[in-house]
Amino acid sequence: MSSVKEQNSHESTFAHSAVTLFSGVLFGLGLIISGMVNPGKVIGFLDLAGDWDPSLIFVMGGGVTVTTSTFWLVLRRERPLFEQKFFLPTKADLDGRLLIGAALFGIGWGIGGLCPGPAITALATLDPSVVLFVGAMLLGMVLQNLVAE
C-alpha cells in the first residue's frame, strides 16, 4: 500500500514541477506581452489626471475573465491533478492587516510602478532600477516576517 503511494507521489513529482515551471513561464510572458513589466506603462494607468493609458484594465479584465470562468469548475473537483488537496486561503473576514497592507502596497506601487510579478520577471533584464527595487522589496518582506514573529 505504502509503496504504491510512494510510487504515485514519485511519478507525479515530474508533472508537478513541469506544471509549476510552465505556469511561471506563461505568467511571465503574459506580463511581458501586456507591457506590465514596464513601470512607465503602469504609472500611465495610475495617472488618471495625466495622459491616461487604460491598458491595465484590459490586462486585469483578460486575466479575471479567464480565472472567473474556470476556477469554479476546477474547484468542483475533489483535488488537483498532482496534489492531495487545494491550498486556498482560509481567512474570510476583513481586518486591519489586510487593509493597511494593501494600502502600503498601493503607495509603493504608485511610487515605483512595479508590483512583485513584473518586478521578478523584469529582474532577468538586469535593469539597475529593477534590481534595486527587488532588493528593497525582498528586504521589506523579511522585515514584515520579523515584525510578525
Partner 1 sequence: MENFTPVSALIGGAFIGLSAVIMLAGNGRIAGISGILGGAISSRGDERRWRILFLAGLLLATLLYQIVSSSPITIEAQASPELLVIAGLLVGFGTRLGSGCTSGHGICGIARFSKRSFAATVMFMLFGFITVYVTRHLLELGV
Looking only at residues 3 through 22 of this chain, which bind partner 1 when binding is defined by CB under 8 A? Answer: 15-17, 19-22
User: If DSSP states are collapsed to H, E and C, what string results for the chain?
Assistant: CHHHHHHHHHHHHHHHHHHHHHHHHHHHHHHHHHCCCCHHHHHHHHCCCCCCCCHHHHHHHHHHHHHHHHHHHHCCCCCCCCCCCCCCCCCCCCCHHHHHHHHHHHHHHHHHCCCHHHHHHHHCCCCHHHHHHHHHHHHHHHHHHHHHC
State the minimum distance, in angstroms, from the CB of residue 20 to partner 1.
Answer: 5
Q: Which is nearer to partner 1, 4 or 147 (CB)?
A: 147
**Identity of the residue, 7 or 129, whose beta carbon is nearer to partner 1 in the bound complex:** 129
C-alpha span between 72 and 63 (Å, rounded): 15
How many residues touch partner 1 under the rule CB under 8 A: the total is 117
| Smallest gap from residue 126 Cβ to partner 1 (A) | 10
142 sits near partner 1 (criterion: CB under 8 A)? yes
Instruction: Work out how close the CB of 13 gets to partner 1 at its nearest, in angstroms, rounded to a whole number.
Output: 9
Q: Find the binding residues for partner 1 in span 52-111 (CB under 8 A).
A: 52-68, 70-71, 74-75, 77, 79-83, 85-89, 91-94, 97-111
**Cell numbers linked to 111:** 511610487
In whole angstroms, the minimum distance from the beta carbon of 4 to partner 1 comes to 20
Supply the minimum distance, in Å, between the C-beta of residue 72 and partner 1: 8
